Chain A
């Protein structure tokens, strides 16, 4: 089923809309929620809340492609849960954030003074310079918060190889940010 057909079901307020969305992409959303939260029940709840969010926003929105849109909702709900609960302190999100943040920022204070919009632009610029494999590696690890082992498996490389490549990517990002005048 095409994204436009699923969106059409939401526009029609069809009861099938959520089930079709789940059938088509549910695995991606639950995997993302679980990677972020590292807890089954919370991950399920997060995805259900995200579906409710889609139901409430489509229409009027017509998000195409659909997957990133729903993934963002899942991620935002998960981040909110993490903020509210110390139980998720060692979830996948914090682990991957710390791995990236500890490498590119010289201190927490620097991070506090960041302009997030400027950093977003810089991150997209950096990603545009990477080849496809490295870009997927970076995004899977730091946006989807896959474990190193999982992302290595996904790319058909060893975990050790993935770690080394991620380390290089973090260093390259730090250099890139410096070149672009982003204070790190």
Chain B
């Protein structure tokens, strides 16, 4: 074994450090408070052409998740705080985020103009936990296109759910349950993913089949799909995580997608989103017929 002595030396690491690293569940189960939720939501939801295609390039601060504790975090936001205290003073609007239009100037720091109230429907109460991600976005269309394996227009034909092992990234049907138990609930769960079936109607980049699937971490915030999600992610496991900034896609509707290949060995191939905020454009795409049209979106 290479570095045998290093291994032996590592074995001499003090118990207190091993315990500190092993004892994360107790720390990580604490609730977190997201600060400046409004600013982040606005920064992540700049309207373009009537859609909610998010431009993270507009982020100039206030986008991180801050926590009550100086502790490791899972990025799960205490939804009661995010939707309650932090959103006070925000004008009430339709809970369907796709109908909202935000002046792009608000994303640059004018918090008072923000008109987004996200995940505020009754469906959220108790069942879903809002998740925000602190990720870099792409500044230009070319960067986003370059980061994508597939740029397509496609119709959503089905929505389903699956559990994936967080370590291997594989569906749990095919992998060993790595031994997480209730006592390590912070990461004992396999990750719930929402799978979207797509029929490709036009492709602008990539070698795309007519039918493909892409997956998004977390559930789908809707009573309609709650039972299906709860079969995999039962009540004991806790609220179902849902990305705040990922659009609520509807079956039968057509969108523009920026995807990267996850598993080409499956049939159909499975894709991931490029990032949470920029992978789906849900504005008017009727005029988008070429990659140049895609570039015009920015």
In chain A, positions 65-102 with a C-beta closer than 8 Å to chain B are: 65, 67-69, 71-72, 75-76, 79, 82-83, 93-94, 97-98, 100-101
In chain A, positions 89-147 with a C-beta closer than 8 Å to chain B are: 93-94, 97-98, 100-101, 105, 108, 111-112, 114, 116-117, 119-121, 123-124, 127, 132-133, 135-136, 139-140, 142-144, 147
Residues of B within 8 A of A153 (CB): 74, 166, 187
- Quick one: which of B2, B12, B75, B169 contacts A116, CB cutoff 8 A? B12
Number of A-B contacts defined by CB within 8 Å: 158
Q: B267 near A: Cβ within 8 Å?
A: no
CA gap between A33 and B180 in the complex, in Å: 12
Q: A40 near B: Cβ within 8 Å?
A: yes
Classify the secondary structure of A's interface with B.
helix
Number of B interface residues at 8 Å Cβ cutoff, please give it: 46
Please determine whether B21 and A144 come into contact, CB atoms closer than 8 angstroms.
yes
> How far does the Cβ of A152 sit from chain B's closest Cβ, in whole Å?
10
Residues of A within 8 A of B89 (CB): none
Please determine whether A28 and B22 come into contact, CB atoms closer than 8 angstroms.
yes
Q: A31 near B: Cβ within 8 Å?
A: yes
Please determine whether A156 and B74 come into contact, CB atoms closer than 8 angstroms.
yes
Q: A23 near B: Cβ within 8 Å?
A: yes
Please determine whether B12 and A139 come into contact, CB atoms closer than 8 angstroms.
no
The stretch of B3-11, B106-114, B205-213 in contact with A is B3-11
Please determine whether B21 and A143 come into contact, CB atoms closer than 8 angstroms.
yes
Q: B49 near A: Cβ within 8 Å?
A: no
Please determine whether B1 and A83 come into contact, CB atoms closer than 8 angstroms.
yes
Residues of A within 8 A of B169 (CB): 149
Please determine whether B20 and A97 come into contact, CB atoms closer than 8 angstroms.
no
Please determine whether B13 and A139 come into contact, CB atoms closer than 8 angstroms.
yes
CB-nearest residue of chain A to B167: A150
User: Which 3 residue pairs are nearest across A and B when measured between Cβ atoms?
Assistant: A30-B179, A120-B12, A156-B73
Residues on B facing A (Cβ under 8 Å): 1-15, 17-24, 28, 65, 70-75, 134-135, 166-167, 169, 176, 178-181, 183-184, 186-188
